[in-house]
Amino acid sequence: MLENFLLYLTTEKRYSQHTIDAYERDLNQFIHYAEVKKINEFNELSSTFIRGWIVQLFEDHKKAKSINRKLASLRTFYKWMRKEEIVSANPMAKIQGPKNEKRLPAFAKESELHTEKLDELYADSLNGKRDKLIFELFYQTGIRLSELIDLRVQNVSSESIKVIGKRNKERIIPISKELHHQIHSYLSAKNQQLGESPYVFSLKFGKKLYPMLVYRIINQYLSIATNLDKTSPHVLRHTFATHMLNRGTGLETLKDLLGHANLSATQVYTHNSFAQLTSIYSQTHPRGGKK
């Protein structure tokens, strides 16, 4: 039932496989709830029925963010069906999702990210070099998990890396000489032990890393070095952004480095940056600490 729509997302919208998988899961959940057997039966579903699904999701203890993602999937699906003249009306036009909770991105402090801690944790073996490099790439470039896994050797230069972001958008991110040397050193060791691969990070026989392995690598360090509840690779992306802003990077520049489609996605980090500025002000201004 969904094959043509998923093919549309792949070929025309050029969404990543991760995004397509999420769409498929969300829509299959709705199809199961609606007990739809044939695609033309979507014509019979009303906005009232969809609101009932939203209520059911809340009763299943789904969070607002998760519900809004599912509604976004359904909204895109209905737009496609209208375009293909499968349905005559779009009930999603009358649907508003619940308000998301506003949470500040979690990030590590600069004092928690010492190189010495990395050296102690990651041994001087091939896997140790790999794990340390993965950590440094996340923290020094702010790339996403999927971008790191898909990073190709040919897209690494002495001054930058080229990554393929969401919707296959390319962006160039500068890197330091030290980080380039670290990449070159790891690749030399990896090629000797595992053989060459088009990907910077690979397993035996040139296979790409899988996400859970990267999660474990980053979780190991962040669980030891910080008190953060979240210890995923994305925390290092938030950390990169927050530390860049704290040291004077402009929002437009940060937006380009992160690969955000619009500035509103980047502005969330200004809250963390303002907290840092407030702390500095209270410590350094002659009257800053007075109430």
Q: What are the residue numbers of the active site?
A: 144, 166, 234, 237, 260, 269
Q: What are phi and psi of 49, to 5 degrees?
A: -65, -40
d(CA 31, CA 14): 24
Which three-class secondary structure state does DSSP give residue 172? Answer: strand
* Residue type present at position 141: T
Of 154, 221, 209, 208, give the one whose Cα is nearest residue 183: 154
Lookup: tokens for 37: 């057997």
Q: What are phi and psi of 156, to 5 degrees?
A: -110, 125
Residue 208's DSSP bridge partners are 202
Of 199, 232, 229, 194, give the one whose Cα is nearest residue 216: 232
Quickly list H helices, the chain: 3-11, 17-34, 47-59, 64-83, 115-121, 126-141, 145-149, 177-194, 211-225, 233-246, 251-258, 263-267, 269-284
Of 183, 130, 139, give the one whose Cα is nearest residue 157: 183
